[in-house]
Amino acid sequence: MVTPSPSGDREKVVSKLPSWLRQDLKVRAAELSVDIQDAVSEGISAWRAADDDYSPIDTAGSASFSTWLPPGQWEELKDTSTARGIPFVQGLAQSVQLWMSTHPSPKHRPVTGIPQRKVVINQKGGVGKTAIAAGIAEAMAEDGMRVLLVDYDPQGHLTDQLGIEQLPPGTDSLVLHMCGEGKGSLRDLVATIEEQRFEKRLHLLPACPDGFLLDAKIAVARMRNKEAALERALQPLEKDFDAIVIDCPPSLGMATDAAIYYGRRRQGEANALSGMVIPVLAEDTSATAYSMLAEQIESLREDLGLEIEYLGLVVNLYDSRRGYVATSSLQEWRNIGDPRVLAVVGDLKEQREAVRMRRPLLAYAPHSDQAELMRQIAREIS
């Protein structure tokens, strides 16, 4: 519905928007001191001018939404939506989402020039570190942040899952740069994830099989402060990103020490922005592995005088149908209190399907329950 204003400079329009998108728009406009009507108008103009085929937005359960737009813009939105073969409510939702993605929250802008550093870590294999690292990085990029994912695991699952080729053995790699043997600029190795949803804000430093030798190479390398090897390698890239997410290998070796050191809180950095994200399972062996990891973190904290923060636990691949062991283990994780449980992620099919398709989860199934949980985790730790 369109109602002209008495002055004729704006028209009141009434349509529908998903409640979550309407709330996000309200918050973002307030953060940036922008009138909602101006935000919607800018989004519509940008959406109509773009030739890109944007990912559909789930508009089920949309509620009434009204605003004021320049005369004729509402009809232009309807005409463009019709030409693209989508309902105009979908066109409005995509327009608002486009404005949100090009106007990131100011809370994501590093005040100190130091990017947030999320170290996704657990020496136990099979807990879903790669899925959690990728998911939170995708959610942050979707929300307007410039994000670098680092595949620090020589198995290269993250690289493979995102459809990027691993670096060939014997070529330049993160490992060589960590050991002071880099052959060029590490920036040249970074690949952009070409999914429209992330607007070229999501990037990956691919894995290289030479990572299997990292612990041994660090041990024999002649370098000061070996725990800082990862930081020295990545420091030239930091100014290009708002956040760096490390997908760690299942190990308790020196490579893990370097990742923990990298995630410490630096001087001048705000609390709870950088630190450890620990995926766990609702089972007894995962609790044992967590105890070993916590001991390693505490040893580094005490030996080197570091401020290392636990951003939280993610109970992953949870299925209550596994009975008492699963439900009681979940309660035990929650009882820890610090670190807190950020989310409980079910054993859902969308992640497996995204892996098979070699696409990011939030691009393959952006409205799935698992994608929403990744956004929840990202909000909790950003």
**Whose CA is closest to 281, among 309, 319, 249?**
319
Superfamily of domain 110-381: P-loop containing nucleotide triphosphate hydrolases (3.40.50.300)
Rounded mean pLDDT of 311-338?
Answer: 91
Q: Domain extents for the chain?
A: 2-102, 110-381
**How far apart, in Å, are the Cα atoms of 103 and each of 24, 40, 109, 136?**
12, 12, 11, 19
**How far apart, in Å, are the Cα atoms of 57 and each of 200, 351, 371?**
19, 19, 13
**Whose CA is closest to 360, among 166, 193, 124?**
193
In the chain, where do the E strands start and end? 2-4, 11-17, 63-69, 116-120, 147-151, 191-192, 202-205, 243-247, 275-280, 310-318, 341-346
Distance of CA 107 to the CA centre of its chain: 15
Residue 302's Cβ-count burial label (10 Å; 0-12, 13-18, 19+) is exposed
Rounded mean pLDDT of 261-274?
Answer: 92
Contacts of 210 (CB under 8 A, 6+ apart): 154, 169, 170, 173, 175, 176
In the prediction, which pLDDT does 4 show?
Answer: 54
Q: Provide the whole-model pTM.
A: 0.76
User: Is the predicted pLDDT of residue 2 greater than 70, yes or no?
Assistant: no
Residue that has been written with the tokens 């329009």 in this structure: 13
Distance of CA 16 to the CA centre of its chain: 29
Question: Which H/E stretch holds residue 167?
Answer: none
pLDDT digit string, tens, across residues 280-289: 999 988 889 9
* DSSP secondary structure letter of residue 311: E
* Alpha-carbon gap, residue 220 to 178, rounded angstroms: 12
**Whose CA is closest to 250, among 120, 133, 122, 160?**
122
Q: Are strands 275-280 and 116-120 parallel, antiparallel or unpaired?
A: parallel
**247 touches 158 (CB < 8 A):** yes
In the prediction, which pLDDT does 128 show?
Answer: 93
**Whose CA is closest to 319, among 289, 339, 341, 349?**
349
pLDDT digit string, tens, across residues 145-174: 999 999 999 999 999 999 999 999 889 999
Distance of CA 356 to the CA centre of its chain: 20
